[in-house]
Amino acid sequence: MNRMKTWESERLGKFSASQIHRLLVSGKTKNRLFGDTALSYIYEIVAEMFTGESKASVSSRAIEWGSENEAEAIEAYREHTGRNVTYFGKENPVFFQIKDMPVGGSPDALIEDKRVIEIKCPYDSANHIENSIMTVEEFKQKRKEYYAQVQMLMIVTNVMTADFCSFDPRVINDAYRLSVLEVPFDKAFCDNMLMRIREAAMIRNDIYNRLIRREAA
């Protein structure tokens, strides 16, 4: 089994860092921990468990753009920071997991055991400009899905710092093509996220077992 197939197999039936923000959506009433967005995600995960296939991703020019420019972004990061980076590119993805919990994440790169790197290459250059001037608090409020993603990646890789990088090769001046925002581990945020993952895992297991019992009846 090649590295890509192994990576795909390891992810099946598990919540992932890139989508974990969906579990943070609460219901409209106080007694509902999860909203419809979160519940839809849980059903998707159960579907993976029964089909052995992940939900087909919707291809778009924006996704292709990000994929095409990620390696160049990593090189820009190396040059900008002088750090020794282990890059998990398209041919070498790694899924880091939490023991005894159905959740994990695939970082773009790691710096030894010190920090995780998440690269975004916005298709819209205006988003890159906005990314480039954000504070950590603004990042947390305006890029909620990415904030949750990097916090989850810090958990699964056991580090306390993440570099959120925005890269746009179209920027004329090299100095502004790459921005690096250092994001610290947010314990309160992560404690809440892990609580919700545990609850989501119980719902996932309950749905799975109900279907198994129905088939056996």
Q: Rounded mean pLDDT of 43-59?
A: 87
As a whole-number percent, the residues of the chain with pLDDT over 90 amount to 81
Q: Produce one character per residue of 167-206: b if its CB has 16 or more CB atoms within 10 Å, e if not.
A: bbeeeeeeeebbbebebeebeeeeeebeebbeebbebbee
Strands 161-167 and 115-120: parallel
The answer to whether 140 touches 150, Cβ cutoff 8 Å, is: no
Domain boundaries, the chain: 3-216
Q: Which of 50, 47, 91 is nearest to 70 (CA)?
A: 91
Q: By three-state DSSP, how is residue 176 classified?
A: helix
The architecture (CATH level 2) of 3-216 comes to Alpha-Beta Complex (3.90)
**pLDDT confidence band for 56 (50 / 70 / 90):** low
The alpha helices in 52-108, defined as continuous H runs, are 61-81
DSSP characters for 128-153? Answer: HHHHHH--HHHHHHH-HHHHHHHHHH
> Does pLDDT of 28 surpass 80?
yes
Per-residue pLDDT tens over the stretch 89-129: 877 899 999 999 999 999 999 998 799 999 999 999 999 99
